[in-house]
Amino acid sequence: MTTTSVMEAIDETPTAERGRPPLNVIYEWLTTVDHKKIGLMYIMYALVFLLIGGVEAMLMRIQLAVPNNHFVSPQVFNQLFTMHGTTMVFFVGMPILFGFGNYLVPLMIGARDMAFPRLNAFSFWISAFAGVLLYYSYIGASGLYAAGSAPDVGWFAYAPLTAKVFSPGHSTDYWTLAVFLSGVGSIGTALNIVTTTLCMRCKGMKLSRMPLLVWLYLVMSSMVFVAVSPLTAAQIMLTLDRYIGSHFFDTQAGGSAVLWMHFFWIFGHPEVYILVLPAFAFVNEIIPVFSRKAIFGYPAMVAATVGIGFISMSVWAHHMFTVGLGAAGNTFFVFATMVISVPTGIKIFNWLATIWGGKIIFATPMIFCIAFLFQFLIAGLTGIMLAAAPFTWQLGNSYFVVAHFHYVLVGAIVVALFGAFYYWYPKVTGRMMDERLGKWHFWLFIIGFHLTFDFMHVPGLLGMPRRIYTYEAGRGWGTLNLIVGIGAIFQAAGVLCFVYNLVWAYYKGKEAGHDPWDAWTLEWSTQSPPPAYNFAIEPTVNSRRPLWDLKHPEDTDSEYER
Amino acid sequence: MFSPAATPARSIVGLSVLVLWVTLGIFLLVGGLLLYALIRFRHRPSDDEHEPPQIYGSDQIELSWTVIPILIVVMLFLTTTRVILGTEAIPKPGNAMDITVIGHQFWWEYRYPKLGVVTANELHIPVSDPNTPLPTYLTMSSADVAHSFWVPRLAGKMDVIPNRVNTMWMDPQQPGLYLGQCAQYCGTQHAKMLLRVYAQSPQDFAAWVEQQKQPGRQEFPGNAAATEGQTVFMHNACINCHTVAGTAATGRFGPDLTHLASRDTIASGPIQNTPENLRKWIDDPNSMKPGSLMPAMHLNDHDLDVITAYLSQLQ
């Protein structure tokens, strides 16, 4: 069989049946094991939490906009930043990226579903339950002490602040259990993605022909095993400390506060790469298509990704430069942290080389990826500054760090995600999102982003620590925080355009056809939306870009690939 | 951070400026190339419909942008290591001023073991003349949760962690007041756990030590209110948490009050130390610093007046 069979096999029977009884539809979604439906549920669930986490951020910015503000109490502010961080990492970042992975990985490797469909459903529902559990703390269970108080220990919940004596009541338990369950769900989905990638590829798709997105999801999922397991274990240890009197982190009885920090950051730093690799993955697919060129240096991109995966496991203590680990320990982690910039740099250079010599089309997915490139470059460079331990002695736990990691999480990851939404929405729904609204979304969000996070670096340099609910007028932080707050309004407006666009396009968007972007990977060879079985017959591929080969039989990739 | 007043902070600025220049250079180079590529290689309406030439990679180019960053990384790493060793791995001089710092929810306790002085929230240290250096060494731990000691103009921060002893040093060369605050989230009032470091000339510092060594004042001739206030203070729960040296008040949970009136601020920095503020604070600490662990003692107006009169006399 040749590549051409991929296209011939498109099954044109309509599958999207709108207008069935709602109860049937709900039942179908609740019980589904289809990777596409589960992926979409992950994404929608994450979008809801994105809005909640965004509102929490807005409330904090209102509180900090002027000095000595009394908009919220210190207790409420501490709950807000704890919930914002926990929500954004565990209930937005992880599920939305797993959602895209769930949806795209089987389609891109020519499979009909994930390796373990039921585990997939289990992982989603346990993660979803975790998010609901966390927010249930706001209501609290009746009759329980401290009912109605959200966790307020910070998203990294340093011991011994989480001990029973400093955090009485149950709010910390809600946090612990939510993170624990989310960890279980993440490990389940990671297991699924690794197995699917290794065992479910279609004929001809050697590892060296896998789309880069799939490669990155493979590395990211493998990292989840190593990174999320210690965190999940630490939640159990913390619960034992709180309820049956063990002393892992209980400093009053000889436990170690530093032990918790190690547990948390051996998760926490790989987690950053777990979140950013999927963003890289989207960019790896979008930039070539809109530059009309193959990705530059595919083997180097794979090697850099695997390199990042390994190195990221040995950088965690750069979050602990101020813990007093001593000169030798600090020096090691300075080196490891700086070295990771080499594979990351290779990626940026390869994207640049992919654009070089292309015919760049500035459609909405592409402009988000371009913004990603600039912003990720800046985030990487402030990362190198912070890798120099003495710099972190000054600016660790200051607003400079907050600005740095929001540059990564928002400027790189969220922006790449927006690009991914515009790029794959036509595949998922069969309709195009509106380009004009997309441009509005882009400019509002990018202007807001730079107002907020460029200016946020400065109060850090001026000595403003993070997690303070208010500050004195005389410190010179007021104007800067006001600008940061104004930027947040622009970002919110951008997100509203986006949400409106999502809903509008579902009903009114232009019909997309199966390959609106003239792209090259397998998901574009099937219908939009894809049928439940994805492909009518199993595709066969001869190169990394099966649809390129098909469209250019005179100049196929398979002749050039090394 | 960029107006350092002591050696550790100064060496950090030196390193930071170097790193800033290097990263700025990389940003301009890569960002400029990216911008150029975006403009030069944009799709033009006049373009023909052919796809551009497909280029899959180039070993030479890829090798160069692997090796050059490695060289930059090694350079930055060695420079950073020099600063780390110069701050964390140099021997402590014999004449160093030793101070024990203990973090509490939400205030700082300072003990000068060689001088027999105990104080809170306002740290007094001698300036260090470059010709005859007199660095101050802080030995730090916490009585409850993790805190972090950060006075940007003097040195980088160091965490203050329970069940663990950390050290840091500083050698301010100019007398003055240096501000900072707790930099590790430690609970409700993390925001108002401020740091005030007074660097003083050797004479001023010696005079301050001499005054702080005295036990708490117990005789208040001609000041009936203060005398009565002392009695009320000693017969209330105040003494369970606070110390006034030389009296029955020996509590350790709250700040030492022996020389409270010699301080500029109360409540760990955010409130000026005036009799009106002090009275309001004693009446209801949570109205001024919500989340403060000092309870409102429900004293009547008269008792509040006389206790304020007493504490205002503890110079």
Where are the domains positioned within chain B?
7-40+56-88, 97-213, 224-311
Residue type at position A264 = F
Residues in chain B closer than 8 A to A292 (CB atoms): 43, 51-52
Token pair listed for B197: 């470091």
Mean model confidence pLDDT for chain B: 92
Per the CB < 8 Å rule, is B57 touching A300? yes
Which two tokens mark A562? 């090394």
pLDDT reported for residue B56:
85
Q: Are A10 and A525 in contact (CB under 8 A)?
A: yes
Residues of A in contact with B158 (CB under 8 A): 322, 324, 393
B49/A contact by beta carbon, under 8 A = no
**Does B58 contact A470 at a Cβ distance shorter than 8 Å?**
no
Is B70 in Cβ contact with A552 (below 8 Å)?
no
B89 contacts chain A (CB < 8 A): yes
More confident residue, A170 or B151: B151
Name, in order, each residue with C-beta under 8 angstroms of A470's C-beta and a sequence gap of 6 or more.
A63, A64, A67, A68, A69, A74, B191
Residue pLDDT, tens place only, B215-225: 989 989 989 99
Q: Tell me yes or no: is domain B97-213 CATH 2.60.40.420.
A: yes
Q: Closest Cα partner for A389 from B158, B146, B126, B101?
A: B158
DSSP annotation of A539 reads: -
For position A349, what pLDDT does the model report? 95
Whole-angstrom CA distances from B180 to A465, B29, B308 are 9, 37, 28
Q: How big is the CA angle at A95 (ends A90 and A100), to the nearest 5 degrees?
A: 150
Nearest CA in chain A to B52: A358
Do residues A110 and A535 lie in contact, with contact meaning Cβ atoms separated by under 8 Å? yes
With contact defined as beta carbons under 8 Å apart, do B75 and B169 qualify?
no
Chains A–B, number of C-beta pairs less than 8 Å apart: 264
Kindly list the residues from chain B whose CB atom is less than 8 angstroms away from the CB atom of residue A294: 54-56
Superfamily name with CATH number, domain B224-311: Cupredoxins -  blue copper proteins (2.60.40.420)
- Other beta carbons less than 10 A from residue A258's beta carbon: 21
* pLDDT on residue A18: 59
To the nearest whole Å, the CA of B76 is away from the closest chain A CA by: 8
CA dist A506 and B123 (Å) reads 63
CB contact residues (below 8 A), chain B span 115-144, against chain A: 144
Residues in chain B: 315
**B28 CB-contact burial (10 Å; exposed 0-12 / middle 13-18 / buried 19+):** exposed
Q: Considering only alpha carbons, which residue of chain A is nearest residue B193?
A: A468
The pLDDT of residue B274 is: 94
User: Would you call B291 and A74 a contact, using CB atoms and an 8 Å cutoff?
Assistant: yes
Q: How many residues does chain A have?
A: 562
- B77 at the A interface (CB within 8 A)? yes
Angle at A257 between CA A338 and CA A227, to 5 degrees: 50
Residue A73 pairs in a beta bridge with none
Confidence (pLDDT) at B305: 94
Q: Is CATH 3.30.420.10 what the domain over A5-559 is classified as, yes or no?
A: no
CB A167 within 8 A of CB A74: no
3-state secondary structure of A434: coil
Q: B7-40+56-88 belongs to which CATH class?
A: mainly alpha
Provide the pLDDT for residue B34: 94
Looking at chain B, which residue has its C-alpha nearest residue A356? B37
pTM score of the predicted model: 0.93
Nearest CA-CA partner of A270 in A229, A214, A325, A330: A229
Distance from CA of A224 to the nearest CA of B (A): 27
Predicted pLDDT at A142: 46
Q: Which residue of B has its CA nearest to A555?
A: B54
Q: Which chain B residues have a beta carbon less than 8 Å from that of A252?
A: 162-163
| Residue of A85, A111, A79 lying closest to A196 (CA atoms) | A111
Percent of chain B surpassing pLDDT 70: 100
Q: Given CB atoms, is B163 within the 8 Å cutoff of chain A?
A: yes
Q: What is the DSSP string of A275-309?
A: HHHHHHHHHHHHHHHHHTSPPTTHHHHHHHHHHHH
pLDDT at A13: 53
Joined tokens for residue A559: 């002749």
- Written as one letter, the residue type at A288 is P
Instruction: Choose, out of B59, B70, B163, the residue to mutate when testing the contact with A (most A CBs < 10 Å).
Output: B163
Q: Which of A298, A360, A560 sits opposite B43 (nearest CB)?
A: A360
Contact A167, A145 (CB under 8 A): no
Instruction: Assess whether the region B97-213 and the region B224-311 belong to the same CATH fold.
Output: yes
Strands lying side by side in the sheet with B117-120: B117-120, B107-112, B97-104, B136-142, B166-170
Residue that is written with structure tokens 């504490």 in the block: B311
d(CA B239, CA B250): 6
Give residue A24's pLDDT: 86
Over residues B23-68, the pLDDT tens digits come to 999 999 999 999 999 999 888 888 777 888 888 888 888 898 899 9
The answer to whether A317 touches A140, Cβ cutoff 8 Å, is: no
pLDDT at A147 (0 to 100): 53
Q: What is the 8-class DSSP label of residue A203?
A: B
The 3-state secondary structure of chain B reads: CCCCCCHHHHHHHHHHHHHHHHHHHHHHHHHHHHHHHHHHCECCCCCCCCCCCCCCCCHHHHHHHHHHHHHHHHHHHHHHHHHHHHHHCCCCCCCCEEEEEEEECCEEEEEECCCCEEEECEEEEECCCCCCCCCEEEEEEECCCCEEECCCCCCCCEEECECCCEEEEECCCCCEEEEEECCCCCCCCHHHCEEEEEEECHHHHHHHHHHHHCCCCCCCCCCHHHHHHHHHHHCCCHHHHCECCCCCCECCCCCCCCCHHHCCEECCCCEECCHHHHHHHHHCHHHHCCCCCCCCCCCCHHHHHHHHHHHCCCC
Can you list the pairs that A553-561 forms with residues at least 24 positions away whose Cβ atoms lie under 8 Å? A555/B54, A557/A294, A557/B54, A560/B54, A560/B56, A561/A208, A561/A209, A561/B56
Q: Which residues pair with B102 in a beta bridge?
A: B109, B141
At residue A1, the pLDDT reads: 36
Residue ranges in A312-434 assigned as alpha helix (H)? 327-339, 341-355, 364-387, 389-395, 399-406, 415-429
Interface TM-score (ipTM) > 0.85: yes
Phi, psi for residue A360 in degrees, rounded to 5:
-80, 125
The alpha carbon of residue A524 is apart from the nearest alpha carbon of chain B, in Å, by: 18
Amino acid at position A388, single letter:
A
Residue A161 CA to residue A69 CA, distance in Å, equals 26
DSSP 8-state symbol, A398 = B
Query: What residues in chain A have per-residue pLDDT under 70?
Result: 1-19, 140-148, 561-562
Residue A154: closest CA among chain B residues belongs to which residue? B185
B82 reaches A (C-beta below 8 A): no
* B52 neighbourhood in chain A, CB within 8 Å: 291-293, 357-359
The DSSP secondary structure of A345-365, one letter per residue, reads HHHHHHHHHHHTTS-B---HH
Query: DSSP letter at A134?
Result: H
* Pairing mode, strands B117-120 and B176-181: unpaired
A386 residue type, one letter: L
